[in-house]
Structure 1
Amino acid sequence: MNTLYFTEEHELFRESLRDFLQKEVVPHLEKWEKEGTIERFIWEKFGEMGYFGVAYPEKYGGMDLDLFYTVILLEELQRINSGGFAAAIWAHAYLAMTHLNKEGSEAIKEKYLTKSISGEMIGCLCITEPFGGSDVAAMRTTAEETEDGFVLNGSKTFITNGVYSDYLVVAAKTAPELGGKGISIFIVDRDTPGINATKLNKLGWRASDTAEISFDNVKIPKSHIMGEKNMGFPYIMQHFALERLIMGVNAHARAEYAIEYTLQYMSEREAFGKSINQFQALRHRLVEHATEVEVSKTFNYNTTKRLDAGEYVVKEATMSKLKSTKVADEVIYDCLQFLGGYGYIEEYPLARMSRDSRLGPIGGGTSEILKEILSKMIIDQKNYKPAT
């Protein structure tokens, strides 16, 4: 146990969660991977166990625990080797629900956040657009204000939980003439007329439903705007720190699991009269990877500690995602190689892991975009500030 960051209570939570995942989730994963649908009952079981509420106020059914409980949830989800299932869970709990908690009115929290914590409702976050990609300010979706609300038109893509969620947290321009300064955030019920979702066929993350969503004259009541009008862009930027750190933690966790599995395989696999973990070429490559993972993990834990203390760690979270996802891809690539032909077989975990891991440097802001953001902060001395 890393006592610098984790207490005995943390470790008891980890043991309980690991047992829950093995009993309640793992037996169904192959089915969900093949069908691309996660059955509804597991969301309710997650809610019953309180896993959706670890970071949220007790007032709405949460437990208001520190961020290291979230880290444990993320790490253990990676160990069961379904990037799609993990993504569906954390996209609900930390993308959609973060906006509910931070910008939602009391009425929105009582209706949507409470039921999201209990697992009765599933949410998705709709920001990325077909023509915008990582350029949030360039979004074209609009929400035109009327006497009794707003009318939403446009489209979003690559939306996790985009098909089967009950509500959508949507970013749209309420003042297009202001560019990025004219974006607002709304909560929209799935059954509102004018919403259409098309499921996308992906390389990896097969268990999750990822969608392209269109909005055709979707009417939204005024009470469904979240936070202040035209403040959507700083809200989104503020929460990107958590999203990037989440993806960094996911990356170090899956890389660590890949090494753990590969070490066991190498100790049992023999070639030329000895186990392959005795060949220097393999040993040295593996320990180099283990070092990179340990460095990434330690950095991610330190960044989590600072974020939990209220620091605005947008630079560090961006570094976390950039570095950790690169490390994970390199580790998993070589671990698959160490398994030889078996690494290429679906019955072994590295085949799925290599597909799922590849999204790491793409989703939540591509590595190229993150490098430019960091260049502005480090070279140009740009100072990003949280929304007030």
Structure 2
Amino acid sequence: MQRLGFETEHEIFRDSYRAFLQKEVQPHKQEWREAGIVPREMFQTMGGMGYLLVWADEEHGGLGLWDFRYQQIMIEEDNRFGEVGFYHTLHSRLVGPYIQHFGTPSQQARYLPKCVAGETILAIAMTEPDAGSDLAGIKTRAEKRQDHWVLNGAKTYISNGINADVILVAAKTNPDNPRQIGLFLLERGMPGFERGHALAKMGLHAQDTSELFFNDVRIPEENVLGDVSRGLHYLKTSLVEERLISAVGSLANAQCGFDLTRDYVLERKAFGKKISDFQNTRFILAELAAQLEVAQVYVDHSVAQHNAGELSVQSAAKAKLVTSELEFRVMDAGVQLHGGAGYMKEYEICQRFLDARVSRIFAGSSEIMKEIIARAVLD
């Protein structure tokens, strides 16, 4: 189906970014997965090409492109020709905007140029061993001491946790109010800040995910982001875009899995005929093809709404729920139709299946998405 949401400049950008991935990323995917991390230098390479924080204004070295379609293109092409464990979108579009929206001019001037250049890598630390989507349940705390804050606690499952130079940490700032949370810009090398080893995961093997530990870390006042009582509000403002990012990625990966499976069944034979000639194969792929196209229309429409500032929490939840569940169905069917080959890591469908499993968990699990949607339908 022809997609109507992109203009000539977007397609030029897509071609350019695809060529970049094919040259700089695709040849190194396996190496990065085995290492469990993407080299820091790749952020600088992307920054040098202008692909990080493309929304940042020229004053800070960016292109001033807030149009989400550019990030959508990068996410789609990352799934086709890049490495999904290279979390530059987290750096550029999930963490960077906090500094732009809630930071002081001094903080923006201090951090954004280096983030645009890829010299400073960003991460965000919310999840704890006993607190995921329920941010009011976090135990990490920050206590005010004259002209600074003291941070204590721990975070887990932090993406870019090893590579990150600046980490946006959510911490409670009032022991009498569990919903009073502040955001603090934690920097590499601050005394009392320690990282755990990279965590072993089912998929996304090139993504450096780790635990973080804070033991009396001194956070200067100039590293407090916004109002220390409004961190929960700040975090909620990003959820719509975070879930849209997840939806775009899930759908792009699903389409790639579908294409791999289609190509395989057109070549592979069983009982003297191609697997694509069996009715079961044809019906499975027909149903998935229809669902993929319908989902793509909804996601593209959601991107247009987001650009207009009109995408609701419920609509973003629907996009995230539908695409992540569809992604898993496509990958599961792909493994099944590949037969024994689908269980072998040498086949790409196997790796995509493993990478896809987390999509129904991060950025809010499917169960949380259903609760959000149900409130709009029933409350």
Q: TM-score range by the shorter chain?
A: over 0.9
Q: CA deviation at 1:81?
A: 6.3
Matched, 1:188 2:186: yes
Measured at CA, do residues 81 and 341 of structure 1 come closer, stay the same or move farther in structure 2, by a change above 3 Å? farther
How many angstroms does 1:98 deviate by? 2.0
In structure 1, runs of 5+ residues without a counterpart are 381-388
Whether the 8 Å contact between 1:252 and 1:325 is mirrored in structure 2 is yes
Give the SS at the match of 1:52: coil
Distance 2:74 2:58 in 1: 18
Q: Deviations over 1:113-160 (max 9, x none)?
A: 111111111010011111112111111111111111111111111100
Partners of 1:313 and 1:302 lie apart in 2 by 12
Q: Give the distance between the partners of 1:246 and 1:45, measured in 2 at CA.
A: 22
Structure 1's 270 and 3: CA in aligned 2 closer, same or farther, altered over 3 A?
closer
Report the AA paired with residue 185 of structure 1. Answer: L
User: Is the counterpart of residue 263 in structure 1 residue 258 in structure 2?
Assistant: no
Q: CA deviation at 1:277?
A: 1.6
Q: Which runs of 4+ in 1 moved over 4 A?
A: none
Instruction: Determine the structure 1 residue equivalent to 2:62.
Output: 62
Corresponding residue for 2:236? 237
Report the equivalent of 1:217. 216
- Partners in 2 of 1:67 and 1:149 — Cα distance? 37
- Matched letter for residue 77 of structure 1: D
Instruction: Tell me how far apart the structure 1 counterparts of residues 334 and 83 of structure 2 sit (CA, whole Å).
Output: 17
Deviation track 1:81-125 (CA, whole Å, cap 9, x = no partner) reads 64322xx22221122212112111111111211111111110100
1:140-195, Cα deviation, whole Å (9 max, x unpaired): 11111111111111111110011121111111111231221x11111111110111
Q: Is the 8 A contact 2:25 2:83 kept in 1?
A: no
Matching of residues 1-388 of structure 1 within 5 Å? 2=2, 4-65=4-65, 66-80=67-81, 82-85=83-86, 88-180=87-179, 182-198=180-196, 199-380=198-379
CA 1:298–1:312 in 2, change beyond 3 Å: closer, same or farther?
closer
- 1:363 alignment partner, SS class: coil
CA distance in 2, matches of 1:89, 1:207: 12
Partners of 2:108 and 2:219 in 1: how far apart? 17
Q: For 1:159 and 1:246, how far apart are their aligned partners in 2?
A: 17
Amino acid in structure 1 at the alignment position of 2:70: Y
Q: Which segment drifts farther, 253-262 or 371-380?
A: 371-380
The separation in 2 between residues aligned to 1:139 and 1:187, in whole angstroms, is 17
Instruction: Summarize deviations over 1:289-347 as a string: whole Å, max 9, x none.
Output: 11111122211111111111112521111111111100000001001111112111111
Q: Quick check: 116-125 or 306-315, which moved more?
A: 306-315
CA distance in 2, matches of 1:248, 1:3: 16
Residue identity opposite 1:78 in structure 2: N
5+ residue gaps, structure 2, are none
Deviation, structure 1 residue 64? 2.2
Q: Assess, with a 3 A threshold, how the Cα gap between structure 1 residues 77 and 222 changes in structure 2: closer, same or farther.
A: same
**Which residue in the other structure is 1:384 paired with?**
none
State TM-score, norm by structure 1: 0.94
Whole-angstrom CA distance in 1 between matches of 2:263 and 2:82:
16
Preserved contact between residue 129 and residue 155 of structure 1 (Cα < 8 Å):
yes
Mean alpha-carbon deviation: is it higher for 335-344 or for 54-63? 54-63
When the two structures are superposed, what TM-score results if normalisation uses the length of structure 2? 0.96
Indicate the RMSD between aligned Cα atoms, in angstroms.
1.4
Task: For 1:185 and 1:152, locate their aligned partners in 2 and report how far apart those are by CA, in whole Å.
Answer: 11
Which residue identity is paired with 1:190?
R
